[in-house]
């Protein structure tokens, strides 16, 4: 079968997650740097979002589906536990992160008003995440899973914004979790060279 291709912009937190998944499992892949809404992305994602991936006859969009495929299709350490309860716990956290934690707006652009309005909820979210990683140092169960892979790029970008950086610093267990896992070779090897445009835009507004 031909090489796995990960297609997207390196700075996207969603693209980054798929690359961390590959690195954790030792899966070789070709990275194709591509912006959203380009023809090669639109050919796979119905709404033109990144990442998308190809592997032989398999074409996939949505980071969660791509990460699941990487985990199931290749050898290497399991990123989702085999037992039903463990697997469901990973799925639970993926769902919570993607529905409550990512600060995107519908069109992917930063919405300052929405961010201001979200700040009180963000405090609760940080408290929830802090409590979740406290016992084992992982989000789901006692191993590094797709849930951690999904959260780390988001925490990285939250750590760049003053308000969320202050909240992260106060969430001691989450801060320690973030610092420890940021040192993983899979995270460091795939570190994005530049910030996504939407976060640069946010920083410019709050500076």
Ligand X SMILES: N[C@@H](CCC(=O)N[C@@H](CS)C(=O)NCC(=O)O)C(=O)O
Instruction: Report, in Å, the least distance between residue 158 CB and ligand X.
Output: 14
d(CA 70, CA 51): 13
Cβ nearer to ligand X, comparing 67 with 171: 67
Q: How far does CA 111 lie from the centroid of its chain?
A: 20
Residue nearest to ligand X (CB): 108
Could you identify the residue written with the tokens 């190809």?
54
Positions that interact with ligand X (CB under 6 A): 12-14, 36, 48-51, 62-64, 104, 107-108, 196
Cβ nearer to ligand X, comparing 109 with 142: 109
Instruction: Report, in Å, the least distance between residue 173 CB and ligand X.
Output: 26
Cβ nearer to ligand X, comparing 23 with 146: 146
Instruction: Report, in Å, the least distance between residue 49 CB and ligand X.
Output: 3
Instruction: Report, in Å, the least distance between residue 48 CB and ligand X.
Output: 6
**17 within 8 A of 151, measured Cβ to Cβ:** no
Q: What is the secondary structure of 95-125 as a DSSP string? A: HHIIIII----TTSS--HHHHHHHHHHHHHH
Instruction: Report, in Å, the least distance between residue 157 CB and ligand X.
Output: 10
Helix axes 172-182, 112-134, angle to 10 degrees: 90
d(CA 18, CA 70): 8
Cβ nearer to ligand X, comparing 104 with 163: 104
Cβ nearer to ligand X, comparing 38 with 143: 38
């Amino acid at each position: 079968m031909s090489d796995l291709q990960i297609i997207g912009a390196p700075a996207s937190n969603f693209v980054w997650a798929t690359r961390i998944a590959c690195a954790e499992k030792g899966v070789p892949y070709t990275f194709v740097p591509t912006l959203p809404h380009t023809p090669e992305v639109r050919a796979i994602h119905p709404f033109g979002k990144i990442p998308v991936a190809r592997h032989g006859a398999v074409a996939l969009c949505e980071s969660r589906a791509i990460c699941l495929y990487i985990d199931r299709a290749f050898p290497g350490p399991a990123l989702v536990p085999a037992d039903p309860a463990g697997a469901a716990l990973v799925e639970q956290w993926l769902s919570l992160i993607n529905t409550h934690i990512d600060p995107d707006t519908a069109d992917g652009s930063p919405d300052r008003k929405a961010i201001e309005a979200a700040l009180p909820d963000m405090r609760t979210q940080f408290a929830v995440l802090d409590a979740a990683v406290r016992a084992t140092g992982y989000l789901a169960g006692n191993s590094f899973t797709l849930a951690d892979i999904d959260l780390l790029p988001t925490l990285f970008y939250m750590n760049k914004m003053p308000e969320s950086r202050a909240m992260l610093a106060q969430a001691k267990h989450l801060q320690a979790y973030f610092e420890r896992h940021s040192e993983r070779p899979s995270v460091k090897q795939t570190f994005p060279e530049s910030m996504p445009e939407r976060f640069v835009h946010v920083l410019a507004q709050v500076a």
